[in-house]
Amino acid sequence: MSTVDVRGITVGYGAEPVLREIDLTVHTGTTTAVLGASGGGKTTLLRVIAGFLQPDAGTVVIGERTVCGDGRAVPPERRGIGYVRQDGGLFPHLDVGGNIAFGLPRAARRRRDRVAELLELVGLPAQTATRRPAQLSGGQQQRVALARALALSPAVVLLDEPFSSLDTALRASTREAVAAALAETAATTILVTHDQQEALSFADQVAIMRDGRFSQVGSPREIYESPVDLREASFLGDVVHLTGHCVDDGITCPLGLVTARSDSPAALSGEVDVVVRPEDLTLTDSPGCPHGSVQEISYHGAHALVRVALDDGTAVTVRVVGRRTPEPGEQVPVSVIGPVLAYPRA
């Protein structure tokens, strides 16, 4: 069992802490994505867990073992952790086989079949072993870096933005290969990323870091569909933000009379923030729905974002299937699908 349990970690590089009393639990064999703005402290957290940085306060427990805190500081090489840096960090003077075998005990280093096994695990052919890192694409290098991290069968794998330097197509295929390799080894994984889609699709749990703390930790669905506040909602994707007024039978807002979802904060009254995702709006008619004119279309292939100026002047964005966009200037109805998220006015 290798649950990673981070409790009350406070750490910094100077007087000001970068992380403040951070708590995080990553259950055995699951993946947590740590998502946040640049400079927020994501890498710092990985460095504390890996043992490269000693915290000012708090503990890290891996499985049953306290690896830091309570007067203990287990060195990085004895924590059973595989770490993949943002740039892969391969040794340029060693071939792929040499890179993967680097951390293995002397006897195992000579076993080429272990290297071939690890290459297969990350979806690379065995003959890649004789190539130098410089002869590989960015995605192949990242896979080799993962194979090296997995060589010692670590119980915990830390991935620091491993896909950020890859182009879209390579990113998707590398991500799939890495996810499959991690699933096969049942490693407990923490992935640092600043890519919302990556966090939502790759992880079992997403932790959003803001100002040195986690502002929300939950399943990808909870994080996207039930953000704790307007700020988190905007951080995780496109939002239509409107002002609403609570009335007896719901909330009146530029979209008409709407009802608050049950996962909205309780005790709403007076003026509230109404938050709707563009995919919760449609260009179809419904009783009492507003109309407006199409201002702008942003085409993304599979989908398109249609900006509509409602007749009362409010601008809203509607996500439609890419093939079914209206024309600019067209008059369209805008309906909301289902109840909306509403928050007390910020």
| Residue ranges in contact with ligand ATP by CB under 6 A | 13, 18, 36, 38-44, 194
Residues in the chain: 346
Would you say 319 and 304 are in contact if contact means Cβ atoms under 8 Å apart? yes
Token pair for residue 299?
A: 């085409």
Nearer to ligand ATP, 161 or 273 (CB): 161
The tokens 């009783």 sit on which residue?
Answer: 287
Q: How many C-beta atoms surround the C-beta of residue 66 within 10 A?
A: 17
Nearer to ligand ATP, 37 or 183 (CB): 37
Would you say 66 and 216 are in contact if contact means Cβ atoms under 8 Å apart? no
The C-alpha atoms of residue 317 and residue 296 are separated, in whole angstroms, by 9
Nearer to ligand ATP, 19 or 101 (CB): 19
β-strand partners of 281:
336
Token pair for residue 18?
A: 């970068």
The least distance separating ligand ATP from the CB of residue 22, rounded to whole angstroms, comes to 12
The least distance separating ligand ATP from the CB of residue 209, rounded to whole angstroms, comes to 7
The least distance separating ligand ATP from the CB of residue 23, rounded to whole angstroms, comes to 17
Nearer to ligand ATP, 35 or 260 (CB): 35
β-strand partners of 274:
242, 342
Token pair for residue 40?
A: 């927020």
Would you say 158 and 50 are in contact if contact means Cβ atoms under 8 Å apart? yes
The least distance separating ligand ATP from the CB of residue 41, rounded to whole angstroms, comes to 4
Nearer to ligand ATP, 44 or 317 (CB): 44
The C-alpha atoms of residue 192 and residue 308 are separated, in whole angstroms, by 36
Q: Are strands 303-310 and 315-321 parallel, antiparallel or unpaired?
A: antiparallel
The least distance separating ligand ATP from the CB of residue 161, rounded to whole angstroms, comes to 6
The least distance separating ligand ATP from the CB of residue 247, rounded to whole angstroms, comes to 43
Nearer to ligand ATP, 8 or 326 (CB): 8
Nearer to ligand ATP, 43 or 196 (CB): 43
The C-alpha atoms of residue 94 and residue 125 are separated, in whole angstroms, by 18
The least distance separating ligand ATP from the CB of residue 7, rounded to whole angstroms, comes to 19
Determine phi and psi for 140, rounding to 5 degrees. Answer: -65, -40
